[in-house]
Structure 1
Amino acid sequence: MSWTTRLGQLVLVGLTAFGFKALLLFSLANGFVEHTQQPHATGKFLGPSLPSSSTKDVFKHEDVPMKPWLSGISQRMDRQNQDFLIFMWPFVDGTRPDAALVFANFAGAAGATWMLIVVESTRKAHQNKRLLAYVFPWGYLFFHYSHAMTTPLYAIWNLFWSPLETTSRKQDYVINRVETVGLLVSQVVAYVIPMALFAAPVPNVLSVFQKQTVVAWYQPWSVWIAVTHFLVTIIARSWIRQPHPEGSSTPAAYRSARSNHRAIYAFTFALAAIPHLVVLSITLTALLFPGLYSSRLTSLLSLQNVFIPPSPWSDTKAPHLVEGCKWLLQWDYITGSTGVLVWVLTRYIALQMSTSREKRASWFGLAGKVLVWTVLVGPTAAAVEILWERDEIVLDAAIEEATLAEAKKAS
């Protein structure tokens, strides 16, 4: 294991510890955990609404009944669904635009992150290693214990066990056509469409009861993605003809693999980048053209309010459930997305270090690229772009080697 990989793992350990502090300990200290118990006690949410002119409070609250459809089979399962609903409802009830923007940004990044994790499990080198091909436990940890703490731990695991750092076989990077179809279809059907339902207005499209039920039962989202992926790949194997035999190392086989990778990365990049661009555009509009919004909306949609949570070492208290939820998800996004970027950069730098000096990318150029992409499209989309570039380098080299080998054989 190279020193760059060890350094990357050390940074990821630090991010995991920071995630524990920023999410769990800060949530306990700022009073957020106490706020989450109130809906259980009353059976209602305290949903913020526009303040009246007769009050000086920032928010006036109204009661929203908490009545999702529950199984009635397992009290523990029902309680878990209710806990998830209590956390998610402030982001999807439509009363706080800043919370909705924070969630949109997080949802894009989390979906893209999980896509990258599943992509790793489908690579040829990892299909033969159960420790890397079986990612269901990581999905369980992801939706139970946060993006911020799970993603860095997965990255450490991947960096430790993956043979990609030491292998010289370009075939080990390849993702076949069936897995490509499975990845794309499962992510659209089991992630993008449910996220669209999260955004559906109440009661125009969904009733309060229907929307709460959708939110509560979508908690194990990685399970729904895995089931869909499994079913799609079974169907795809009988309908899609692999253009080249498994393990083929011809130029045409590598070009086909490169097309598969490009489709996967283009979709994943869009999944992370589009929400970030939309959120960034709205906050910049509020900053540059404040007259377009009321003073309250201008404050809610400010860059600082949407992107920067309070320090986890501060004594700041969450005034109500909505603010506590927002701070937790902001730190979850920041820490988890940084973990993805560190993981991918570790992989990319390891590849660069394995090549001759004249073929290496400029370190200043890499740093500038990461900085620009992070600001414009977010750290997760930046990570996708870097990993995409890494695979392009590998597959372009494979095509060149295979072409030379064929030419030598023909002569």
Structure 2
Amino acid sequence: MTFAFATPLICGLQLGCSVTARLPNADNIRVPRVVLAVLPLMFLIGYMVPTQAMVIPAPSLMSIDMKQIAIAIWQPWPAYVSILTTVAYYVLSPFFPNNHRASMSGLRWVYASAFANATLTHLVSWIVSLATVAVPGLFNEQYLSDLHPSKVFAIPLPWSGAKVETVAEGVHYFLRWDYLIGSAGVLLWALTLYSVAHKQILSTVSWPGLLVKVAVLTILTGPTGAAVELMWERDELVFKETGGSRQQAIKDKKSL
């Protein structure tokens, strides 16, 4: 399944079936501390390593056959991350006792890592592409056309009658739509969870301000970066208002 199909489907199922989407609280959204501690590293191993192997130039540094094998190995990277994280959970759990402060620190580290990864890839893509217009002298002439913003980011409309000349160009068209639809689904999912949490906990959502923030974040960090930021803010709100120090204060007050 492609990103454009699987991601909106999974997000939609989560919104419709999970209590964490409808009634989030500190208990039902809590992630084991050990998972928070190891997840960035597991992502690095399970995703970044296969990705780096996949992007090695062929045939200059690897054969075409090896390139195809590397691409095939890269495909199930979510399974690698999931399996590695599960193994780490069972092996390392005894070394990570429950601690709210440490768990919140781990949660912020996970979100910061995800936000940095999404933002850096978004900015690097735009900076490199825009540099071909601003300072074309930095690039070899044979790459200027391929890296031009109109070539990299323009979305060919299905009814435009555009025809591809090579398989690579067709794959490029497909991947642009794949990313656009999939990332839009992630952003809509995060926006929904954010708004539901605010309505439930604060009884209000400032839609004009929220939409402006989402637009600015999408421009600066990309749609997935914006989604990460919304989820980060949502989780911070849920833990602050329904758990942790606030929950302890309520318990202390009741005991008086």
Superposition TM-score, scaled by structure 2 size:
0.89
Q: Which residue of 123, 132, 135 maps to 1:289? A: 135
Give the distance between the partners of 1:406 and 1:350, measured in 2 at CA. Answer: 26
Paired AA for residue 214 in structure 2: V
| 2:10 maps to 1:159 | no
Give the distance between the partners of 1:222 and 1:388, measured in 2 at CA. Answer: 21
Give the 5 Å matches for 1:89-100.
none
Residues 1:256 and 1:171: Cα distance change in structure 2 (over 3 Å): farther
Q: Which residue of 210, 231, 244 maps to 1:399? A: 244
Give the distance between the partners of 1:400 and 1:224, measured in 2 at CA. Answer: 36
| CA root-mean-square deviation | 2.2
Of all paired residues, the percent bearing the same amino acid is 33
Deviation at 1:214, TM superposition (A): 2.0
Aligned to 1:243: 98
Structure 1 runs not aligned, ≥5 long: 1-144, 245-252
**Which digits, 9 at most, give the CA deviation of each residue in 1:106-140, with x for residues without a partner?**
xxxxxxxxxxxxxxxxxxxxxxxxxxxxxxxxxxx
Aligned to 2:85: 229
Aligned to 1:220: 76
CA contact (8 A) 1:181 1:236 kept: no
Deviation at 1:213, TM superposition (A): 2.3
Q: Which residue of 121, 130, 146 maps to 2:2? A: 146
Give the distance between the partners of 1:278 and 1:380, measured in 2 at CA. Answer: 15
Give the distance between the partners of 1:149 and 1:278, measured in 2 at CA. Answer: 26
SS at 2:56 equivalent: coil
Aligned to 1:380: 224
**Which digits, 9 at most, give the CA deviation of each residue in 1:322-355, with x for residues without a partner?**
1001000010001100000001101111122224
Paired AA for residue 241 in structure 1: F
**Which digits, 9 at most, give the CA deviation of each residue in 1:197-233, with x for residues without a partner?**
1233446754444333222233322332232222222
Deviation at 1:168, TM superposition (A): 6.2
Give the 5 Å matches for 1:6-405.
145-167=1-23, 169-202=25-58, 206-238=62-94, 240-244=95-99, 253=100, 255-356=101-202, 360-397=204-241, 398-405=243-250
Deviation at 1:318, TM superposition (A): 0.7
Size of the aligned set, in residue pairs, is 255
Give the distance between the partners of 2:160 and 2:182, measured in 1 at CA. Answer: 21
Q: Which has the higher helix share?
A: 2
Structure 2 runs not aligned, ≥5 long: none
CA contact (8 A) 1:269 1:384 kept: yes
Give the distance between the partners of 1:216 and 1:361, measured in 2 at CA. Answer: 44
Residues 1:314 and 1:156: Cα distance change in structure 2 (over 3 Å): same
CA contact (8 A) 2:25 2:239 kept: no
